[in-house]
Amino acid sequence: MKFDHSVKIAPSILSADFANFGAEIQAVEAQGADWIHVDVMDGHFVPNITFGPATCAAIRPHIKTVMDVHLMIAPVDPYIEAFAAAGADIITAHVEAGPHIHRTLQAIRATGAKAGLALNPGTPAEVAAPLLDMVDLICVMTVNPGFGGQKFIHSCVQKVTELREMIGDREVHIEIDGGVDQSTAPLVVAAGADVLVAGSAVFRGGSVSNPATYGDNIRAIRNAV
């Protein structure tokens, strides 16, 4: 993974057909996806359960771009090596998920994966300040984590602006997760984001048998920014 500031679209497989993940991933990549975003939820840190390292390992051979694994789980540390072994290129942990985020980021980097730090909507940007030299990505949640299809929280745009100023010339991506579509994408990109996680906005109306719609949706977001 080479760092660059170009806008990247990362479809979230949370909105894909769970029974057909491999084909869904191949379809969205063929239609222009830059990364594949994998939302891992535990029913404890967030009120939903999705999948774990075994699923990540199963879909890894189908991902030719970047496997971006977002851990919405607590505790995080006991599972880092398993997700790294499953092939995650980026492992993102929530600052709110445990008392020792510095140790968590160290553990992620020790596996060779890129380290991401996620901030919930109610967590201020300044929490990330002491950690900027330890992260490769900051994920700004623009909905409360746990479910897809929620409405974008507009007050989070200012957080993106603050983070971009704090990051300066460091090679750190700002990722937006939640409510990204043609109307909200331009707001966060203008504020400094460069990775856009989109679930329903990419997968809506399409299917493995009708993948062109995925391409239309991806291009619509990209053209909007």
- Concerning whether 17 is annotated as a catalytic residue, the answer is no
Q: Cα(first)–Cα(last) distance of the chain, in Å? A: 23
The single residue of 34, 89, 177, 181 carrying the catalytic annotation is: 177
Q: Which residues pair with 94 in a beta bridge?
A: 118
**What is the number of other CB atoms lying within 10 angstroms of the CB of residue 208?**
15
- Concerning whether 216 is annotated as a catalytic residue, the answer is no
**What is the number of other CB atoms lying within 10 angstroms of the CB of residue 5?**
10
DSSP 209: T
The single residue of 34, 39, 136, 181 carrying the catalytic annotation is: 39
CB 214 within 8 A of CB 31: yes
Q: Determine the Cα–Cα distance for residues 209 and 185; give it in Å rounded to an integer.
A: 27
Catalytically active residues, by annotation? 39, 177
